[in-house]
Structure 1
Amino acid sequence: MSVEAPVTLVSPEKGYANDDEIEKKMGSDSGEAGPEKIGQEQEVLGVLDLDPALNKKMHIVNNTLDEIGWTPYHWKLFFLNGFGYSVDALQLSLQGIIAGQAVFEFSPSYVRGLTIAVYVGMFVGALFWGFSADIIGRKTSFNVSLFICAIFTIVAGASPNWESLGFFIATSAFGAGGNLVLDTTVFLEYLPSNKQWLVTWLASWFGVGCTVAGLVAWGFMPNYSCSDPNVAPFTPCTKANNSGWRYLMYTMGTMIFLMSMARITVIRLRETPKFLLGQGKDAELVHNFQEIAEKYNRPCSITLEQLEACGTISSAHSRSKFSVGEFWIHIRNLFITKKIAFSTLLIWLSWAMIGLAYPLFNVFLPSYLASRGVEFGVTSTYETWRNYALVQVCGIFGPMLAGHMANWAPLGRRYTMIIGAVLTMAFFFAYSQVTSQAQNIAYSYVISFTLEIYYGTLYGYTVEVLPSAHRGTGNGIAVAFCRFMGAMSAVIATVANTETAGPIFICGALYGGMALCAFLSPFEPYGKRAS
């Protein structure tokens, strides 16, 4: 491959890049500070000097990502990782959409069973795929997870009873459960520093997934659903007159399958450079960078000699990849200093709180909208599902605004989260006092928008401040806390009754707690490069 002659990225004395030489070599003469100036930024965790060899190599890798810049490869990653976000949203939305009709058909003893099933599956999936991403790699997990989800989503549509439906929902959720871990990690670890804020934009796909589920449900549910068999005149609810939810599962399962195939055929995903760095596979890392640079006609100055001159990384893995020690090192290093430990705990607490707040609003939104609709004289299932779909559309644009806010110096990531959480809290409290159907819908739209400002930024912030070698583990445990509290939301919803304003007050208070966590967070990734 024909590339420019290598520049000296590492000096024997300092081990760090000579940034002036890099900029001169690459023709950068703007004189402006900021993400566009290659090599000038400090890594988020680099100042902690936990592993000198890792810090030096990470600096070189980040310089190379900045040198190559944004390419069509990144566009493909944005869409293919976005599919994972959509599927995560689909799984959460689907069980909320089909639960009511499935209850009419199967008459189970515990009507919140599907909520428990989907969150248990996602809980196990987050932990499994999170640890797998750090131990066996991002690539394998990325390619397999959606396929598992697709197959069992389709099978769930053919369930003959409540127990089998719950099992297949949980299994499909297991496949989907790692997407919030894998998608942000894979995307971030390929991004140049001036595009890291785009991880926040990935959360827009969450709204896309909810919207698709809502729109398809809007088409199937009003036309192929039985009425409540407990309301006179009595009509038995059977598979023959209640196939709408099954059609929905078949359709969504097929769509997920096509997405899983796209991940294999549209892009030949290379293992992420920062995973290879932690594994000590420097030669493969350099080869992958050179392939991308050659394909897209970009400069690439990194050499194997530069990486080897930095020394050997000692903090990323144990001697045996599949051992208790390997699991322990990934957890232990999330608490290796007081500052990192405090950051890790605040992230996990934030995810636990949003894991309770989000489903209380979003998963149980159909029943709340329906109850408020009845209260204000709206009884049409057509209008209920139309309103649900439109609420989800509003959620698409929250992360888009959040991405630009998080990339603006006066706000950064932390204050964007604070603003999103405080606004959401205020509108939740106001929502509990609505007095008309117009207000009911309007507040639903606004909340869907503002909560995604916070949620989208939290996704990006989490992976930016976690150490690269343990990013999958830390992110997986965070998402697992979210899923565990999601399962608890089903218990709370059973006691509190989602057709009252009780869960709305709980959600508002939780978002206030999230704003406090963001304020206390010790790291601000804006202007720095992910480690």
Structure 2
Amino acid sequence: MSVNPRLSGFWSTDARMSYYERADAEESEGLVQGEDEEMGGMPDGRTPLDRTIDKIGMGSYQWTLLSLCGFGWLADNMWMQAIAIILPRVQQHFDIPDSKIGFLSSTMFAGMMLGAVGWGTCSDLIGRTAAFNATLFLTAVFGVLASLANTFPLLCAALFFLGSAVGGSMPTDGTLLLEHMPNGKQYLVTALSVFFSFGSVVAAISGLVLIPSRSCPPKPASCDVATQNMGWRYLLMALGLITLLMFLARIAFFRLHESPRYLVHAGRHQEAVESLQMISKFNGDELDLDVEDVRDHLTQSEIVAHRERLTSSPTSMEGQLVFDADDRERSSSPDETRPKLLPKTSRMALRSSQEDVLPDYSATGEHNVSLSGHAYQAPASPPAPSSDEPYLKDTSRRNSDASAYSARSFRPSHHTREGTSSTLGERGTKLCWKLPRWLRRPLMAWMDRISMVLAPEWMRTTVLVWIVWWTLSLAYTMFNIYLPKLLEGRGTAGDAAPRSLTDSLWDVVIYSLGGCPGAILGAYLVDSPLGRRWSLAGSTFCTALCCEFFVLAQSSLAVRISTLGISLCATAMWAVLYGWTPEIFGTKVRGTACGIASALSRIGGMIAPILGGMLLVIDNSFPVYASVVIFLIAGLSVLLLREKEGEREASGGGMMH
């Protein structure tokens, strides 16, 4: 059997299916409590690994992990808000013009973009725990170094490396948390947005304490920046130490176990068993598990039983993935005779059937499922064994019998991706083989996942989602990064004199506090009858409206109300988006896919300060007006995504292509 050169260790393991099949809270609790007894062992589409994780449930380990993952999200927003707070002070310290001061935050966002992709792929290749711990440690190191920079270029360089570390926190921490959540509890990832909101509060309060008394007096008074303008340095130092404490909490007060799902699909089944046993013991309930309990695919008899159950009894629509990249690996010849279409609720069983039939992994295989209707078909397959063992479970039989069969039946006569990513992939592969081995493997693995996500039949949905991520970050960052500067330059009603630095920082604190209930609102909207599409679009349009109100506001009260509205709506907007995005992709590419989405947001954040600085030279209101227009574009892009009504009712609005 010919093996793709990209296959090794992690890649040659059994394909895996998504576990993001949602049910009602009551159903979920009932299944966890004792489904085998109540249902008589009847399959419900979940794999043994899904059942084991559900049996462990939502215990103290999961709640502790939720808090520790929240530290990464807190650090992310804390540092972004800190850059906005110190920007006027740094501009005065190094005498930087308005048109160029945006490079301060742009360099950090550039690092975040690199970190989001790099750490996301790293978590897929070497495991979740390494990235989980390293991101906060490196963030703390570069945060302290940034406080010591004595030139503007050195400060930008330190912030670039800081961004490359903290930028990986959100995709890696979110992925790790999701892979430990039992069925029906994945929505708790939106609770991380609460930590995200408190990150800006920590930065704002720290800035209020450290900056006013250690900053230059208002012009035209003279200032010795070397002695009088040290507040921004103290703020960076303080936040670096806070980040270091969060890192120490992760390694000193909690023993993190590797994600069982990652271990299973890396071929380390016994380690997955041990990890689950230790998690169960931490929760106070020791389970007796074996390798069979971490099997993440269904046997043929389980598939048939589940299919019969679905066709013989009414079923409610379960939440489904918009795109599981594992489907790209399972293809068949267009000439094959296919059985009848299966109900969409049997997607998990169907995917397992396809996984077990196909012996080879091919990220560039043809996908014959039409996009219309999003129906799934079972490929023709060799006779099923009479036992409950999955197809081709034995390695030797897989290598001998399956290779000829796969070559005869599953090699497409033409390639749907030849005109798009195939040629590019072949060129990239040839180029990669000229690189050193240590660089070749991760680069080829990354290219492999990119080719899955950019499959032509999913291009429309993927591009729309990417547009939403990019435009939301561009608009939000353009407003957020210049908010302290806009507040300092704004006089009160009837008074042209700028407000004091202390008053402006109090406004920033109030603005930051407004985001805390926004995170809770977003967590509710994720599973509300409104649906995710309308929740995301509505919160985006409300943010644009509040930005317009901010420009027109004259009194201090009106300004504070408008900033509270912006913070509330924007945080809810991000909570919905972050809670929805990981559910789109399957386990194999989840880290990379979430990393790419995050990287695109960093690109928007990288452009926003530069563009906003250019507009700021023209008029102080222009960056806000630009944000309003871009928010409207983002909201319209969200509305172009289609959502299936049945799924929204069952799972709280999972989006459908």
Whether the TM-score (by the shorter chain) exceeds 0.5 is: yes
Residue 281 of structure 1 deviates from its aligned partner by 2.3
| Residue 78 (1) aligns with residue 71 (2) | no
Conserved? CA contact 2:510–2:560, under 8 Å: no
1:353-379 CA-to-partner distances (Å, cap 9, x unmatched) read 111011112111101222233565362
1:389-434 CA-to-partner distances (Å, cap 9, x unmatched) read 11101101111111122223x1243332122122222222333322
Determine which of 278, 281, 285 is the counterpart of 2:268. 281
Q: Classify 1:266/1:344 alpha carbon distance in 2 versus 1 (closer, same or farther; 3 Å).
A: farther
Conserved? CA contact 1:224–1:241, under 8 Å: yes
Instruction: Give the structure 2 partner of residue 124 of structure 1.
Output: 114
Determine which of 88, 109, 124 is the counterpart of 1:134. 124
Instruction: Give the structure 2 partner of residue 101 of structure 1.
Output: 89
Which amino acid in 1 is paired with 2:53? L
Residue 286 of structure 1 deviates from its aligned partner by 2.3
Which amino acid in 1 is paired with 2:243? I
Matches within 5 A, 1:406-417: 406-408=526-528, 410-417=529-536
Normalising by structure 2, report the TM-score: 0.68
Conserved? CA contact 1:420–1:453, under 8 Å: yes
Matches within 5 A, 1:307-456: 307=295, 310=298, 311=356, 322-336=441-455, 338-339=457-458, 341-373=459-491, 377=495, 379-408=499-528, 410-456=529-575
Conserved? CA contact 1:123–1:480, under 8 Å: yes
Q: Classify 1:57/1:285 alpha carbon distance in 2 versus 1 (closer, same or farther; 3 Å).
A: farther
The answer to which of 289-298 and 479-488 deviates more is 289-298
In 2, Cα distance between the equivalents of 1:88 and 1:308? Answer: 33
Instruction: Give the structure 1 partner of residue 215 of structure 2.
Output: 225
Matches within 5 A, 1:424-503: 424-497=543-616, 500-503=620-623
| Residue 519 (1) aligns with residue 639 (2) | yes
In 2, Cα distance between the equivalents of 1:192 and 1:165? Answer: 43
| Residue 165 (1) aligns with residue 160 (2) | no
Residue 467 of structure 1 deviates from its aligned partner by 1.4
Instruction: Give the structure 1 partner of residue 278 of structure 2.
Output: 291
Q: Classify 1:355/1:437 alpha carbon distance in 2 versus 1 (closer, same or farther; 3 Å).
A: same
Instruction: Give the structure 1 partner of residue 105 of structure 2.
Output: 115
| Residue 248 (1) aligns with residue 235 (2) | yes
Which amino acid in 1 is paired with 2:80? L
In 2, Cα distance between the equivalents of 1:31 and 1:135? Answer: 34
In 1, Cα distance between the equivalents of 2:623 and 2:543? Answer: 14
Structure 1 gaps of 5+ residues are 1-14, 17-29, 41-55
Which amino acid in 2 is paired with 1:368? L
Matches within 5 A, 1:192-207: 192-207=182-197
In 2, Cα distance between the equivalents of 1:288 and 1:258? Answer: 26
Q: Classify 1:92/1:323 alpha carbon distance in 2 versus 1 (closer, same or farther; 3 Å).
A: closer
Residue 33 of structure 1 deviates from its aligned partner by 6.1
Which amino acid in 2 is paired with 1:71? G
CA RMSD of aligned residues (A): 3.1
Which amino acid in 1 is paired with 2:616? N
Which amino acid in 1 is paired with 2:639? F
Determine which of 260, 264, 268 is the counterpart of 2:255. 268
Instruction: Give the structure 2 partner of residue 22 of structure 1.
Output: none
Q: Classify 1:308/1:195 alpha carbon distance in 2 versus 1 (closer, same or farther; 3 Å).
A: closer
Determine which of 49, 52, 56 is the counterpart of 1:68. 56
Structure 2 gaps of 5+ residues are 1-15, 18-22, 34-43, 299-355, 365-428, 430-436
Q: Classify 1:94/1:214 alpha carbon distance in 2 versus 1 (closer, same or farther; 3 Å).
A: same
Normalising by structure 1, report the TM-score: 0.83
Which amino acid in 2 is paired with 1:149? T
In 1, Cα distance between the equivalents of 2:241 and 2:217? Answer: 27
In 1, Cα distance between the equivalents of 2:297 and 2:489? Answer: 66
In 1, Cα distance between the equivalents of 2:598 and 2:579? Answer: 13
Q: Classify 1:313/1:374 alpha carbon distance in 2 versus 1 (closer, same or farther; 3 Å).
A: farther
In 1, Cα distance between the equivalents of 2:543 and 2:90? Answer: 32
Residue 36 of structure 1 deviates from its aligned partner by 3.2
Conserved? CA contact 2:537–2:638, under 8 Å: yes
Secondary structure of the residue aligned to 2:226 is: coil
Which amino acid in 1 is paired with 2:123? A
Instruction: Give the structure 2 partner of residue 259 of structure 1.
Output: 246
In 1, Cα distance between the equivalents of 2:220 and 2:493? Answer: 20
How high is the sequence identity, in percent, across the aligned residues? 26
Conserved? CA contact 2:197–2:519, under 8 Å: no
Secondary structure of the residue aligned to 1:232 is: coil
Conserved? CA contact 2:526–2:579, under 8 Å: no
Instruction: Give the structure 2 partner of residue 59 of structure 1.
Output: 47
Q: Classify 1:149/1:376 alpha carbon distance in 2 versus 1 (closer, same or farther; 3 Å).
A: farther
Q: Classify 1:315/1:65 alpha carbon distance in 2 versus 1 (closer, same or farther; 3 Å).
A: farther
Residue 478 of structure 1 deviates from its aligned partner by 0.9
Secondary structure of the residue aligned to 1:223 is: helix
Which amino acid in 1 is paired with 2:441? F
Q: Classify 1:201/1:510 alpha carbon distance in 2 versus 1 (closer, same or farther; 3 Å).
A: farther
